[in-house]
Amino acid sequence: MTLRYRQPGVVLTDHRFTVPLDHADPGGETIELYAREVVASDKADRDLPWLLYLQGGPGMPAHRFVGRQAWLERALSEFRVLLLDQRGTGASTPANPQTLPLRGGPAEQADYLTRFRADSIVRDCEAIRPLLTGGAPWTVLGQSFGGFCTVAYLSLAPEGLAAALITGGLPSLHAHADDVYRAAYPRMERKVAAHYARYPQDVERVRRIAEHLLRHDVELPGGHRLTAEAFQSLGAMLGSGDGSHRLHFLLEDAFVLPTPDGLQLSDAFLEQVRQTLTYVSHPLYAVLHEAIYAQDDRPTAWSAERVRAEFPQFDAGRALEEGEAVLLTGETVHPWLFDCDPALRPLREAAEVLAARTEWTPLYDPRRLAANEVPVAAAVYHDDLYVDTGHALETARAIRGLRTWVTDEFEHDGVRAGGTRVLDRLLALVRDEA
């Protein structure tokens, strides 16, 4: 039974679908998918085209909007929107430290998780599309990793798409994870330099915090170990439009004095850091993050960690010794995360198996993309912290008919922060109205 209910200005309907765990074995084990339908209150009974939203990630459920927030305002003017909790996330059959032991040991857990990449997500979408649209193609809006899924959709099942809209999510079709991170670390350095130029007082604040963490064992509430490297990963905040400002406010009251033990990081600071760094709500993000780039017989082998060694300027101890600014990092996953974060510790061995895996199926079909007939538009954010602009533009040229909007007006979260503007622009591009 579907459940229908209301929020201000919208009517919501909960949907649950049963799909194969492995679409190559349709008679085998099944999992459940959850999706929330959203339609404008004054259009609830109309026959409207569908727009499927694919969230960034990997391992993130669809955003829980209230009413017509962000891009929904524009989408609801003409679409019935489906917010899908991708397999393993949100209210879909969960894949997390509490459920994965049911699969067996680390090898079995890792094998199970290989079915949670973009190709399986696309086949999930194709399984549920006829049940909702009656077989009609739908428009897909893919944000970040959702854009990776959208490019996989164009490769695997373009017949299911009326149009494809991508925001901050054009992946390289060929790059190994090593290539992704070799391009990423210089971007991280540029973003940190821009932050320090805006807030020069943060140079010394970051140095003091890093020095304290190198000299003391610090535990966050809940048992999370805060090392200097873990602290540096707060640089991921710089990928959002307001991230530099939020980072500055986080840093300004880091220490408390006097205390019986002298200078200490404040409880308030540590709690805010814990909330920012923990993977408790999205463990698949850490476990599968490098696997989203794997397509051949090369293991990812903790790519971000290995490539980081090629950029010694990110070594906090070295920076302190040489009197340099301590650099922060970005969207990278490292093996030490699985020791620092209690939410990830049970998945460490499965993550090791995935990092060593050498049998990965291709996610994209360059030949099919070169012959694409689906209207496609992509917002490419100039110097995006999370997705390399060079890789994105190379892929844009490889997809027939794709139109790009390259802008430095937004950071990676432009589709959220930009309200109706980003979606409106992409729709105009696929309709040749801009």
Catalytically annotated residues: 144, 384, 412
Return the half-sphere exposure (C-beta side, CA atoms, 13 A cut-off) of residue 52.
Answer: 31
Contacts of 281 (CB under 8 A, 6+ apart): none
Amino acid at 6: R
What is the C-alpha to C-alpha distance for residues 335 and 333, in angstroms, rounded to an integer?
7
- CA torsion sign for 400, 406, 410, 411 is positive
Contacts of 321 (CB under 8 A, 6+ apart): none
Beta strands in 21-179 (DSSP E): 30-40, 50-54, 80-85, 138-143, 161-167
Q: Which two tokens stand for residue 236?
A: 């991921």
Segment holding 406, helix H or strand E: strand 403-407
For the chain, the maximum distance between any two Cα atoms, rounded to a whole number of angstroms, is: 69
Contact at 8 Å (CB) between 54 and 149? yes
Closest-CA residue to 95 (of 283, 279, 278): 283
Opening angle at CA 57, ends 71 and 72, nearest 5: 10
Segment holding 20, helix H or strand E: strand 10-20
